[in-house]
Structure 1
Amino acid sequence: MNPSGTLARQLEAMHRDGFVLLRQVLRPSPIEAVRAAIDRLEPIHWDYQGLVDDHYKCVFNRGPFWLPLLDLPGVIELVEACLGDDCHVIGQTAWRSHPGFVGGELHADYLALELPEQWLADGSFQLPMQVCTAHLYLDDIDTDLCPTLVIPGSHRAGRKPQPGETQWQGREPVPVLCEAGDVLVFRSDLWHAGSRNRTVDRRRYLLQMHYGRRMVAQKFSPYLHWQFNSAVIAAATPRQRRLLGEHEASEYD
């Protein structure tokens, strides 16, 4: 298959459906290494270890281990096609969801602006993406292990779901069932939701990478006390340094 043709079709799907599932981005050995690295994390600032889930922000700054996960082959090319080759990271979050975990209700993460739905229904109009998220699944995801739920095409609603809304144009959320090492890339205006961990003995491990166009601000907690880890910067490639925020000078620099 022609790689450029594949990328073009993935980009088309991002505009049409709002998401793409990339298969087997990470192989079993690295998957186990990432899971073990998540198990070693300790909470700082707004991180937490709760009864049913554990959540760690900005893990790219914990050490060089996390850097290659920012620009995974096959993922970063799609992200750059969506957001421009000067896009950057706005977050990298590690999750563990324990039995009993309940995911968030139907929502959209970020809309740059609201637009009338009839404008977006015109197939000739493509709303540019401002923020995209990549979910790296570190377990095989079935209907019981809190799959991500998505409504294909719902980014064309031009708004976020209202409280209590459970569908869009008659379309219900559908689960993204996948294997460990798969990556779900979706745009921030797509309506999506979490779900429950209905198992009795399994935890879902998930690494999220959030990317924004250059003019989307990087807001790394703990904000005023933020400082880049010098070992991370020393180990970063030029592309990774740009993803971390080392841009060429432009109009507002």
Structure 2
Amino acid sequence: MIEHAATRERLAALHHDGFVLLPGVLTAPRITELRSAIDRLTPVGLDYQGLLDDHYKCVFNRDPFWLAFLDLPCVIELAEAALGADCHIIGQTAWRSRPGFIGGDVHADYLVMELPEQLLADPGFKLPMQVCTAHLYLDDIDADLCPTRVIPGSHRAGRKPRLGETAWHGREPEPVLCRAGDMLFFRSDLWHSGSRNRTTDRSRYLLQVHYGRRMVAQKFSPYLAFSFNPAVLAAATPRQRRLLGEHEPAEYD
């Protein structure tokens, strides 16, 4: 009952603010395991390793190790509450951002359609979510270690930011400062941005999990050449197999 109440509160925050921070999702041993696993990754398909950052897509398909992070307790309940009990993943990405890394500008990841802002300002109207992202932080995030920045409530803008637009209703992006093991869960229409790694000796380690509604297509890199790792499928639980795309037949199947 307590967990159901917590999920309802977090879902309400997604509708009101567009994001919610969950503390202590990962334990210290899990954080160490994940950092080491990211250090062992090598590029596949459209992955890249750069001078300032490394970006590995679809890591769920590398090894059964990554499956546990698709349906973490508290996180999966929130994903299913926000996107439906038949939601699935549309990606799982590992990042390593080195000193000097430059984050992205203010943007919204995905918007189904533009809507009048006055409609979204009505407190009686709740815009359904289509895609949400979980950021699992593997470092203590301070102002210098590329914090994610969010504009609370900006999902109610009804559109993406215009070129050069950095605020919504006078609200500038606010840094999400948190501890290693915390998780930021946000909806895809929230205005947010990355930021610089201003440290001289620390890299930010981050694991992203992207969740979508049943009818949001799974576009797994490298796309037409993608195939599931048999070892991953053999190790997956029924819920994890559904998250990977094993659904009950529906109208368009």
Cα distance, 1:81 vs structure 2 = 0.2
Matched, 1:164 2:175: no
Q: Are residue 25 (structure 1) and residue 20 (structure 2) matched?
A: no
Any idea what the Cα deviations from partners look like across 1:76-104, whole Å, max 9, x if unmatched?
Answer: 00010000010000000000000000000
The runs of at least 4 consecutive aligned structure 1 residues that moved more than 2 Å come to none
**1:250: Cα distance to partner?**
0.8
1:169-208: CA deviations, max 9, x gaps? Answer: 0111000000000000000000000000000000000000
Q: Which whole-Å CA distance do the structure 2 matches of 1:222 and 1:27 have between them?
A: 32
2:251 aligns with 251
Aligned partner letter, 2:10: Q
**Alignment partners' CA distance in 2, 1:3 and 1:66:** 24
3-state secondary structure, aligned to 2:135: strand
What SS does the aligned partner of 1:216 have?
coil
- Partner residue of 1:188? 188
Q: Output one character per residue of 1:12-49: Cα deviation in whole Å (capped at 9) or x when no partner.
A: 00000000100000000010000000000000111111
Give the secondary structure class of the aligned counterpart of 1:190: coil
- Is structure 2 residue 125 aligned with structure 1 residue 125? yes
Read off the aligned partner of 2:27 and give its amino acid letter.
R
* 2:138 alignment partner in structure 1: 138
Q: Distance in 1 between matches of 2:229 and 2:137?
A: 26
Task: Measure the CA separation in 2 of the matches of 1:235 and 1:119.
Answer: 46
Give 1:221 shift.
1.0
Aligned to 1:50: 50
Q: Per the alignment, in what secondary structure is the counterpart of residue 228 of structure 1?
A: coil
Aligned to 2:213: 213
Using the TM superposition, give the Cα deviation of residue 141 of structure 1 relative to its aligned residue in structure 2, in angstroms: 0.1
C-alpha separation between the residues in 1 aligned to 2:204 and 2:147?
A: 9
TM-score normalised to structure 1 length:
0.99
Match of 1:35? 35
For residues 225 and 147 of structure 2, the distance between their equivalents in structure 1, rounded to whole angstroms, comes to: 35
Name the structure 2 match of 1:77: 77
List runs of 5+ in structure 1 lacking aligned partners: none
Note the residue ranges of structure 2 that are not aligned, 5 or more in a row: none
Shift of 1:144: 0.2
CA distance in 2, matches of 1:90, 1:65: 18
Superposed CA deviations along residues 143-166 of structure 1, whole A, max 9, x for unmatched, are 000000000000000000001001
TM-score (norm. length: structure 2): 0.99
Secondary structure of the residue that 2:133 maps to in structure 1? Answer: strand
Letter in 2 for 1:137: Y
Please report how far the alpha carbon of residue 224 of structure 1 lies from its aligned counterpart in structure 2 after TM superposition. 1.0
- CA–CA distance in 1 between the matches of 2:104 and 2:238? 36
The CA distance in 2 between the partners of 1:63 and 1:28, in whole Å, is: 21
In structure 1, the partner of 2:105 is: 105
Amino acid at match of 2:143: T
Q: Distance in 2 between matches of 1:223 and 1:146?
A: 30
Amino acid at match of 2:90: I
Counterpart secondary structure, 1:5:
helix
Q: SS state of the match for residue 24, structure 2?
A: coil
State the partner residue of 1:233: 233
**Shift of residue 3 of structure 1?**
1.6
